[in-house]
């Protein structure tokens, strides 16, 4: 398993937090690398997702997590506990979009508008998750 510091640094450089908002709303975490073994270790560290070829000419692989449950229960808590530096704002918008997506079976017009704001980065305020008690 990879150390938390390694994962955080790797994702700050090679990771991305996507918010998809077209006909459907979806969130996706991914990291790319030519070395498939590193991505497989990342998958094992998170305990979710999968690794596949990226189908580019460079021979790159991509580690993907698309499950809302895995994003909400594994990926988001990991990066809340081990904050990113470079992609901090991107992650905060992503984490809020994951929470909206997870908490609602059917998104309202207001939810879709909020997700669109988060995706575009035009949101003036990022809602912070409540601090854990304990």
- Please write the tens of the pLDDT for every residue from 124-134: 444 444 444 44
Helices (H), 15-108: 36-46, 68-70, 76-81, 88-103
pLDDT of 60 = 93
Mean predicted confidence (pLDDT) in 37-64: 93
Mean pLDDT value across the chain: 86
Task: Write out the two tokens for 124.
Answer: 């003036």
* Domain 4-120: top CATH class: alpha beta
Alpha-carbon distance of 73 to 121, in angstroms, equals 24
pTM of the full predicted structure? Answer: 0.82
């Amino acid at each position: 398993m990879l150390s938390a510091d390694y994962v955080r640094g790797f994702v700050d450089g090679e990771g991305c937090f996507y918010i998809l908002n077209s006909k459907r709303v979806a969130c996706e975490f991914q990291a790319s690398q030519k070395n498939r073994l590193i991505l497989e270790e990342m998958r094992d560290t998170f305990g979710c997702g999968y690794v596949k070829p990226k189908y580019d000419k460079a021979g790159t692989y991509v580690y993907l997590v698309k499950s809302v449950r895995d994003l909400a229960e594994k990926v988001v808590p990991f990066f809340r506990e081990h904050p990113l530096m470079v992609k901090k704002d991107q992650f905060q918008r992503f984490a809020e979009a994951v929470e909206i997506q997870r908490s609602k079976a059917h998104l309202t017009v207001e939810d879709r508008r909020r997700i669109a704001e988060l995706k575009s980065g035009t949101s003036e305020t990022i809602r912070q998750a409540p601090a854990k008690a304990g």
